[in-house]
Structure 1
Amino acid sequence: MNAPANQKVTASHLQRDAYLYIRQSTIRQVFENSESTKRQYDLRQRAIALGWQPESVIVIDSDLGQSGASAVDREGFQRLVTEVGLGRAGIVLGLEVSRLARNSTDWHRLLEICALTDTLILDEDGLYDPSHFNDRLLLGLKGTMSEAELHVLRSRLRGGIENKARRGELRIPLPIGLVYDHTGRAVLDPDQQVQNAIGKFFKTFEEIGSASGTVKLFRREGWKFPRKLRKGPGKGEMVWGELEHSRALQLLHNPRYSGAFVFGRTRHLKRQPQDQWHTFLPDAHDGYITWEQFQRNLRRLDENSQANGADRCKRPAGEGPALLQGLAICGVCGKRMTIRYHTRQTRLVPQYVCQRDGIARGEPLCQSIPGQSIDEAISQLLLKKVTPLAMEVTLAVQHELQARQNEADALRKQQVERASYEAELARSRFMKVDPNNRLVADSLEAEWNDKLRALTESQNLYTLHREQDSAVVNDSVRSEILEMATNFPRLWNDPCVTDQDRKRIIRLVVEDVTLSVGETITTQIRFKGGMTETLQLPRPLRAWQLRQTDPKVIDAIDQLLDDLTDGQVANRLNLEGMRTGEGLEFTGNLVARIRRAYAIRPRYDRLRARGLLTQTELARELGVARVTVRTWRNHGLLKAHPYNDKNECLYDRPGEDRPIKQMGVKLKDRSQDLDVVSERTEKVQHEA
């Protein structure tokens, strides 16, 4: 049999402190169930009666208002376990086991530590020594019953909640834009600005198809979006600010906006598939979108997220010029092809690459196909296919532009109305305050000024965007749209149409495009509905081939070198509008480089082949100095032909009708200036 309580308490126990642990599950219980709290504090007298001094009884009550289901957030319980483990506790007091723990793991861990440190446990029923088998067995049973009691309580509460949820009567927090009316039914927020903002959000996502794109459009247009404060002094109040991407995803994933009542959509903070929801009641209340539209939005989000997954077939249209982004399939392995861009003459040129195995396993690229010619062929094919539907599409575009303008104008106008209301409310507060109470009056006056500034900014923004919108859709724009209805190629090639818009148009009619390269590029287009078409395209020229000089330019250089130097040839080519393979103007150096690359005879060799002499050869034949030859050339006595841009020349051989003596006689018959030149020439010759 167990020893009496007074025999379990020894001197070693009394030398250590007594720890009284007090806990209530909720703050409400602390205030309403005060008798239970009082009974727990009264256990202090039991410790004193067993022999502990009053100053040795330590009360731990920091866990008031904390559940005993876990020890994670219970600072007081963790402190208690620490003191017991350090051997500072002689006894642990609690009104009942459920006060210490309602979790078997926490409870048995405390029993193990108490047994190791020889610490007693006392509750309202008696005193226990965990190192004794019978006491420990009894404490273990009490802990199991306490945990079972918690399970029963939870089951009762959960059953009531689930039963109410099955009827759709459970009041759970509603997302922004939905409120409960006086009957407890979920209805649309009566605030028209809130309704319009949320309605505009879903409509914009329907048009763009991307949550990120929707957020960017809201920020670019200056549209505000509502949210409720979840904490702080203004908890529950509605504020307006910029739309965030996380907020956009929350709206798109929440089925309440479709008018459906759902319960059990998440378990342990993880979203469950629809077939595992506890309750699903479609059309339970009014919504901003239909259930079909909600499902369609989720599918588009899943398709967008595949851009980061294994298959990029449905990623949103990007801003690059590659028309087949996400649509190109490798004709060799059947996998999706990615895109690389190269810059050629300040222009981005796409290249479709099958590189998945190369990235995953380091293998060579499966295929790499230049995409410029493919995109051009797809564009021409699309113009042929889409032209019959151009009128209907254009009229729909015109109607959509007008609808967007009206919705945006109404949204901004409501922002001005709200700012005006808040400014008037601030003015009313300021007018009601006692002017002598400057501490309050100054604060309210500053608030009024802030609201007036916000009102002015809203009005200016509204005016600015209204002018811009009127410039976007006016009579001239409408006439241009109607004119494009019969000329879809003009619309497609319009510089104002972005690459992103062209990709969206292609995705409306094209399912995918399979590419394979051989002697030609085989392009198999699969349209929506199953129709296919195959194109055989020539392989594009390589980069070095694209930079080759036109053969006509080479022939022109060959002909012009008979009469002109490299620099003169370059000037003549530029005057005739000819350019290099890279689109540059010609220079003397470029002509020389082309001449050497294509083995064109230089002008020097051409002149030598005609029998022309160098300056040295002619001076030797005439029996004069080289400088004399240059002087006679400068005075027109010798005919020279320049062979480069440095004015270096070759000379015609003197004929029999122009002997050396006759040249000397002619020189003597010149004017005085020419005599002076001759004297200088002789002097230079003598010095030489």
Structure 2
Amino acid sequence: MPELKVTADHLKRDAYLYVRQSTLRQVAEHGESTQRQYALRERAIVAGWPIERIHVIDRDLGKSGSSSTARDGFQQLVSEVALGKAGIVMGLEVSRLARNSADWHRLIELCALTATLILDEDGIYDPAGFNDRLLLGLKGTMSEAELHILKARMRGGQLNKARRGELEMGPPVGLVYRTDGTIGLDPDAQVQSAIRLVFEMFERTGSAVQTVRFFREQGLQFPRRLRTGANKGDLLWAPPQHSRILQVLHNPRYAGAFVYGRTRTRHRPDGGVSVVKVARVDWQFVMPGMHLGYIDWERFEANQRRLADNAGAFGGERLSGPAREGPALLQGRVLCGLCGERMGVRYSREHSSTVPIYVCQESAVRRAGKICQTVPGKIVDAAVAALMIEMMTPMTLAVSLEVQRELEMRAHETDTARRQHVERLRYDAELARRRYMKVDPDNRLVADSLEAEWNDKLRRHAEAAKDYERRSKQQAATLSAAARQRILGLAEQLPQIWNDARVDFRERKRIVRLLLDDVTLIKAQNITAHVRLSGGATRTLKLERPLPIAQLRKFKPELVATVDRLLDQHCDREIADILNRDGWRTWEGKPFSLKKVAFIRGAYKLASRYDRLRRRGMLTTHEVATRFGIAKTTVYEWGRQGLIRKCYADSLNRGLWQIASETTILKGRGGRRSSPPQATPITAQPPE
């Protein structure tokens, strides 16, 4: 008899009854199984244990037996056995104690070491005995196999329904199950508007970050439906996060498709569960057109390609990336004509401005090789921009009208979303008012709480209404008649607008990306740019390579000749003024100054104005005084009297005098002469 295995040593210790049901639904609906487990106490009483020493552990009701990590009751049972407090462990069957062979054999090992018996519905077993231990091991293996069989059956039925597209899965916000079991759009108009606005803004901006920024700038909110908790199913509205917008854009359910196998669950060693995203090529079932969606499948595919282009990964997954703030017009669209790899962008400073340089460094980065080529972006960007303007000129009127329609549509969408938000808050305030009016006024504990809730709802509604009025006025000013007229003026002002410094670089890049796919660059004697337009057409541009900086800084021969000619009649300062007046500029585009003219004289060894006048016979003040035997002050006095003419004076007060005739000087002095005149040649140059 099995009872013969119970000894006095076993009876000195306590009896433990372990009760478990796999799910809470089984606890609620399968009461008979629970009663059978509690009835095992009678078996312990019959075996000799008093009722007060029979402990029931039922803390694991509603928990699966596949693992012991989350089962506090099972952990308590194992601890009592390990401490030698248990004389017998009871369970209706092995599957109640454990569905995992590792947990089951660990319990058997502990029972064998502490001489603890195990009781189930079939009898009492001594784990220290070989036959009983073998039988218990077989029962544990069968229990684990039974669990796998049950899971396989459930999994097979699940896959069969998924294969037909009939498996019910929680739809994302904006989609709901109807009474007939099909999926449709959420009847809440505000929810629909928010979802549609996400796809519309991503279509316009091409960036999830810009979509989030638009919602933030416009003060718009995005819904989220609670999946768990006491308020399960309720909608919460909050400003959207970048991750939330990405979830919406990546979810194929919004395109009306049934998809199964996007994620997989893995059990961690600590007992938790991690969710792993599966690559799109490994999705098990993809069935487009199964229900109504917010976008079609073609648009979903285009969105995925654009998101892949915007990805920050390095390598083949990254194509062009989103349009950035830098001035490189062809960012992400340039291919190397030598190796075929995509070229990157570097920036340098030139004339106090940032200029791009396209660099092919794939070989240097991946194979420790050399850089293929570097191409100056300022040359290529200007040529491609001119090509874009040439292509867009015939369609500028249509583009202008489309821009106007786009602004009006965007204003209508944002106005609708804000108006719906105000309407929802008004309804919440009205609902709070009705709740407050229905409460007994004497029940102040409830009335005060409902009154505070009503006041809070009224405050939120008033703030939303005020914000709606303010933003509506701003939009009305944006779409005024004057604004429409400016938009229509794009047809004639496109080149000026394109080159306007106030136009953001990202806007130019987006226009370029709409019109061309890529540009292949080859730098040889000249720069060759093969432009591949959207649709397959190609254009080839031949561009001159920029001159080296040494040649750029070199003054033009005609400028040097002009300075040489002007030195005969003018000083350095006067020459600088004449050059600036005639439109001459330095290689940096700056006007000429006295120092620049002096630099040209020194660099090209041109004689100065002073030296030229000396060669023409002009006399210094000292030479005039010596020739006529007078003091220097007398020379200056003659200059003031007009007897001689000062034709040159520099910053050092060095003057050159022109003497027209000695007779004139003698007449001015009354025919007196102090000393014989020296044989200094007198220039016949007429006065300047």
TM-score (norm: length of structure 1): 0.79
1:463 correspondence with 2:469: yes
Q: 2:184 aligns with which of 180, 184, 187?
A: 187
State the distance in 2 between where 1:181 and 1:201 align.
Answer: 24
Q: What is the 5 A alignment of 1:254-403?
A: 254-268=251-265, 269-272=275-278, 280-305=286-311, 308-310=314-316, 312-403=318-409
- Using the TM superposition, give the Cα deviation of residue 507 of structure 1 relative to its aligned residue in structure 2, in angstroms: 2.6
Does the CA-based 8 Å contact 1:618-1:651 persist in structure 2? Answer: no
Instruction: Say if 2:94 and 2:140, in contact at 8 Å, map to a contact too.
Output: yes
Identify which of 131, 134, 137 aligns with 2:131: 134
Moved more, 477-486 or 228-237: 477-486
Q: 1:100 aligns with which of 67, 91, 97?
A: 97
Q: Report if aligned partners of 2:223, 2:236 keep a CA contact under 8 Å in 1.
A: yes
In the other structure, the counterpart of 1:679 is none
Equivalent pair of 2:194/2:417 in contact (CA under 8 Å): yes
Gap change, CA 1:152 and 1:601, over 3 Å in 2: same
Q: In 2, are the aligned partners of 1:640 and 1:649 still within 8 Å (CA)?
A: no
Correspondence for 1:246: 243
Distance 1:592 1:107 in 2: 100
Say if 1:216 and 1:237 are closer, same or farther in 2 by CA, change over 3 A. same
Match of 1:513 among 519, 529, 543: 519
Residues 426 and 448 of structure 1 are in contact (CA less than 8 Å); yes or no, is this contact kept in structure 2?
yes
Shift of 1:216: 2.0
In the aligned structure 2, how far is the partner of 1:79 from the partner of 1:537? Answer: 82
| Cα drift, residue 326 of structure 1 | 1.8
Task: Decide whether aligned partners of structure 1 residues 614 and 51 sit closer, same or farther in structure 2, where only a CA change above 3 A counts.
Answer: farther
Aligned equivalents of 1:93, 1:24: Cα separation in 2: 17
The aligned amino acid for 1:261 is F
Structure 1 residue matching 2:61: 3-state secondary structure = coil
Task: Report Cα offsets for 1:68-98 as digits up to 9, x if no partner.
Answer: 112333344456556766x656657240322
Confirm or deny that 1:224 pairs with 2:215.
no
> What is the CA distance between 1:359 and its match in structure 2?
2.5
Distance in 1 (alpha carbons) for counterparts of 2:325 and 2:650? 51
Pick one of 107, 118, 125 that aligns with 1:122. Answer: 118
The residue aligned with 1:649 is: 654
Cα offset, 1:197, TM superposition = 1.7
C-alpha separation in 1, matches of 2:227 and 2:428: 21
Q: Structure 1's 590 and 483: CA in aligned 2 closer, same or farther, altered over 3 A? A: closer
> Residues 448 and 118 (structure 1 numbering): CA distance in 2 closer, same or farther, change over 3 Å?
closer
Q: Which moved more, 1:147-156 or 1:591-600?
A: 591-600
Deviation (angstroms), 1:331: 0.7
How many residue pairs align between the two structures? 658
Select between 352-361 and 271-280 the one with higher mean Cα deviation: 271-280
Q: How does 1:421-432 map to 2 (within 5 A)?
A: 421-432=427-438
Taking a change above 3 Å as real, the CA distance of residues 274 and 653 of structure 1, as seen in their structure-2 partners, is closer
Aligned partner of residue 63 in structure 1, secondary structure: strand
Is the Cα–Cα contact under 8 Å of residues 524 and 532 in structure 1 kept in the other structure?
Answer: yes
Alignment CA distance shift 1:444-1:573 (3 Å): farther
Which letter maps to 2:234? E
Who is 2:69 aligned against? 72
Q: What fraction of aligned residue pairs are identical, expressed as a percent?
A: 49
Closer, same or farther: CA 21–569 of 1 in aligned 2, 3 Å: farther
Output one character per residue of 1:590-631: Cα deviation in whole Å (capped at 9) or x when no partner.
Answer: 55556555555566766776788999999999999xxx9699
* 2:5 aligned residue: 5
Deviation at 1:286? 2.5
CA deviation string 1:261-300 (max 9, x = no partner) = 3444433334456776555554433222223333332333
Contact map agreement 2:5 2:126 (CA 8 A) in 1: no
Equivalent position of 1:672 in the other structure: none
Contact 2:118 2:125 in 1 (8 A): yes
Residue in 2 that maps onto 1:63: 60
Which whole-Å CA distance do the structure 2 matches of 1:540 and 1:445 have between them? 76
Using a 3 Å threshold, how does the CA distance of structure 1 residues 252 and 619 change in structure 2: closer, same or farther?
same
Give the residue type in structure 1 aligned to 2:71.
Answer: R
Measured after TM superposition, the shift of residue 191 of structure 1 is 1.3
* Contact 2:348-2:356 within 8 A present in 1 as well: yes
Contact 1:43 1:93 in 2 (8 A): no
2:522 aligned partner, one-letter code: S
Q: Residue 536 of structure 2 aligns with which residue?
A: 530
d(CA) in 1 for partners of 2:108, 2:572: 102
Counterpart AA for 2:263: T
Query: Retained in 2: the 8 A contact 1:188–1:287?
Result: yes
1:514 CA displacement: 0.8
SS at match of 1:451: helix
Query: Given the superposition, is the C-alpha separation of residues 308 and 603 from structure 1 closer, same or farther in structure 2, using an over 3 Å criterion?
Result: same
The structure-2 alpha-carbon separation of the partners of 1:90 and 1:422, relative to structure 1 and needing over 3 Å to count, comes to closer
Counterparts of 2:207 and 2:290 in 1: how far apart (Å)? Answer: 28
**Which runs of 5 or more residues in structure 2 are unaligned?**
266-274, 672-688
Q: Distance in 2 between matches of 1:289 and 1:22?
A: 52
Change (3 A) 1:489 1:44: same
Q: Is the 8 A contact 1:566 1:644 kept in 2?
A: no
Aligned equivalents of 2:367, 2:51: Cα separation in 1? 74
Q: What SS does the corresponding residue of 1:425 show, helix, strand or coil?
A: helix
* 1:142–1:545 Cα change, 3 Å: farther
Is the 2:620–2:655 contact (alpha carbons within 8 Å) kept by the matching residues of 1? Answer: yes
Look up the equivalent residue of 1:369 and give its one-letter code: V
Match of 2:150 in 1: 153
The corresponding residue for 1:448 is 454
Contact preservation (8 Å) 2:621, 2:657: no
Q: Give the partner amino acid of 1:649.
A: R
Deviates more, 1:234-243 or 1:88-97: 88-97
1:533-552 correspondence to structure 2 within 5 Å: 533-543=539-549, 546=552
Partner Cα distance (1:391, 1:369) in 2: 35
Greater mean deviation of Cα atoms: 560-569 or 534-543: 560-569
Alpha-carbon spacing, 1:18–1:288, altered in 2? closer, same or farther (3 Å): same
Write the deviation string for residues 386-410 of structure 1: whole angstroms up to 9, x where unpaired.
Answer: 4444444444444333333322322
Partners of 2:290 and 2:363 lie apart in 1 by 50
What is the aligned partner in structure 2 of residue 669 from structure 1?
none
Listed as ranges, the matches of 1:569-608 within 5 Å are 579-584=585-590, 596-597=602-603, 599-600=605-606
Task: Check whether the contact 1:561–1:603 (CA below 8 A) recurs between aligned residues.
Answer: yes
RMSD: 4.6
Instruction: Indicate how the Cα distance of structure 1 residues 165 and 520 shifts in structure 2: closer, same or farther if over 3 A, else same.
Output: closer
Cα distance change, pair 429–595 in 1 and its aligned pair in 2 (3 A): farther
Distance 2:45 2:595 in 1: 109
- Separation of aligned partners in 2, 1:231 and 1:634: 108
Counterpart contact for 1:19–1:57, Cα < 8 Å: yes
Cα-to-partner distance string for 1:2-47 (whole Å, 9 max, x where unaligned)? 995236x858x968x8766543322344455556556656767877
Which stretch of structure 1 is more off in the superposition, 20-29 or 351-360?
20-29
User: Conserved in 2, the CA contact under 8 Å of 1:265 and 1:271?
Assistant: yes
Residue from 400, 407, 411 that aligns with 2:413: 407
Amino acid at match of 2:472: R
Q: Deviations over 1:356-395 (max 9, x none)?
A: 2222344332111111111121122233334444444444
Q: Which amino acid aligns with 1:501?
A: E
Cα 1:574/1:380, change in 2 over 3 Å: closer
Q: Tell me: CA distance 1:651–1:310, structure 2 relative to 1, closer, same or farther (3 Å).
A: same
1:545–1:449 distance in 2 versus 1, CA, 3 Å: farther
Q: 1:376 to 1:48 in 2, by over 3 A?
A: same
Letter in 2 for 1:5: K
SS in 1 for 2:68: coil
Do the aligned residues in 2 keep the contact of 1:200 with 1:407 (CA within 8 Å)? Answer: yes
When structure 1 is superposed on structure 2, of 452-461 and 629-638 the one drifting more is: 629-638
